[in-house]
Chain A
């Protein structure tokens, strides 16, 4: 079996428990069905681009699917933390692998969890919402690109954070706080263009804004010229964060 497959399988089996994965799926569904239905009656439908008008519950549902990207990212940091705490980090580095293979295996495991989680939430929520789609190849590629790059960014971010922070408890608190900032300065809950100027400015640097916008554009066939620009920015942010994570990872003292 390929070395990456072995390591990815091991990361998922050893470091991720079913209970936390279950709640990571429940979390976006809670937004979709409670907040979405709750606000649907008072928020009028609006245009997400290209003349596509959708209800607020569908708007939020698409945003909530990308929440699983953040959850996947947190998992990357958690995997590294568990390995360091339990002595498996050094044990694996003394095995027949390179450091690069180890860190990439965490990113790959994160991608699998992030993308699979998104698809599960999507598959569960959208039929209930009664949405109908006319899928296109362009839309499918945009969705895949958004989920891939978003998970890569947040996975790398969590890895960098877990290297810098000295305890797993601090990591949990800081990562939760950081992810709330990402969440509320993005376009997950509301269109960033309708937000106050400070939040609008913050949303321009926020990779979750781009992940969500690109995902919605692909899903609702609402592709505008700005989507390719957003995809470019997200790719640059994801690669930059991955490089930072690799440098941070190399600083871990053994």
Chain B
């Protein structure tokens, strides 16, 4: 399988079955160098199984992949020597404290002692672990242990990092600092394969996102394009200085660009649901002008990646239920 020079991962029709159950179904994608590739999907969609295959922990049932130029089936050890993995589940050495645990992890990766010491100090600072650097790992809170797990992975060199829901249990401030650290490492040349359920962080970090559902990739695109293409209809809310206008209501209700029209009795605001706010907003102003009305306020609610994600997954599940999913 040929890879472009800047391609780090190339996956072609990769599948994994567990008996009759298809956990991952012919997924294909590629990841470029210094890219953060997001992998989003509901629980049980096949995200972790895909990571386990790409990190050589699980053999694939069919399909091919190359990771960092090495064949997944025949060059597992070469792949493992160049990657880092932060698993979804906890992983820690229970008999050690934070610092020793990081040191021992560096040792098994053959990082020289002086370099280990330097990196441990740096990582403890970056991940704000000074308070508990001497604490036994068994006594750490879930969030502290998670921080250790992410920090520990940076003790060794790697070209590609797999992060399987790395920020679970972290408070927003620490989460943001972890994401910023990851961004910094990406700027230095690291490539990241990233799964999360927190869509804001996927949007913050990822260059491209693959949405996976029931083992199949439903869509791959940039976060912006996913929002644009699959975001739900937007809500345009506006108020008239004059309060109400039956003519305005009638005109907007019959507009082709408007999918729903209503009025909030409490706030007195009209609410227009549309997939084309860029047409609807000028239309509101044109109507107001024609009807001698004044628009006192108008705003549009932003489409989120979560909207796009929910739409994509819901549509895919409908297609699966109707047997209409493309094979």
Does A128 touch B at the CB level, under 8 Å?
A: no
Cα–Cα, bound, A219→B209 (Å): 68
**CB pair B95 A6 closer than 8 Å:** no
Tell me whether B57 and A94 are in contact (CB under 8 A): yes
Main secondary structure on A side of the interface with B:
helix
User: A residues within 8 A CB of B55?
Assistant: 94
Against A, the Cβ 8 Å flags (1 = close, 0 = not) of B39-56 are 000000000000010011
**Interface residue A15 (Cβ < 8 Å from any Cβ of B):** yes
A14, B81: Cβ atoms closer than 8 Å = no
Shortest beta-carbon distance, B88 to chain A, in Å? 9
Q: A13 vs B97: C-alpha distance in the bound complex, in angstroms?
A: 11
**Chain A window 81-96, contacts with chain B (Cβ cutoff 8 Å), 1 for yes, 0 for no:** 0100011101111111
Which chain A residues border B104 with CB–CB below 8 Å? 10, 13-14
Flag if B93 contacts A15 (CB, 8 Å). yes
Contact with A along B248-292 (1 / 0, CB 8 A): 000000000000000000000000000000000000000000000
Chain B, range 88-140, C-beta contacts under 8 Å to A: 89-96, 100-101, 104, 107-110
Contact B85 A91 (CB under 8 A): yes
Q: Are B85 and A13 in contact (CB under 8 A)?
A: no
Q: How far is the CB of B54 from chain A (nearest CB, A)?
A: 10
Query: Within residues 188 to 215 of chain A, which ones have a CB less than 8 A from any CB in chain B?
Result: none
Cβ of A14: which chain B residues have Cβ within 8 Å of it? 93-96, 101, 104
* Chain A contact patch, size range: 20 to 34
Report Cα–Cα, A82/B96, bound state, in Å. 13
The answer to the question of A224 belonging to the interface, with a C-beta cut-off of 8 Å to chain B, is: no
B95 pairs with A94, CB closer than 8 A? no
A169 within 8 A of partner (CB): no
30 A/B residue pairs, CB under 8 Å, sorted by A: A1-B107, A6-B110, A7-B108, A10-B93, A10-B108, A14-B95, A14-B96, A14-B101, A14-B104, A16-B95, A86-B92, A86-B93, A86-B94, A87-B87, A87-B89, A87-B90, A87-B91, A88-B92, A90-B87, A90-B91, A91-B85, A91-B91, A93-B57, A94-B55, A94-B56, A95-B108, A95-B109, A97-B108, A98-B77, A254-B52
- Which positions in B face A, CB cutoff 8 Å? 52, 55-58, 77, 80-81, 83, 85, 87, 89-96, 100-101, 104, 107-110
Q: Residues on A close to B: CB < 8 A? A: 1, 3, 6-7, 9-10, 13-17, 82, 86-88, 90-98, 254
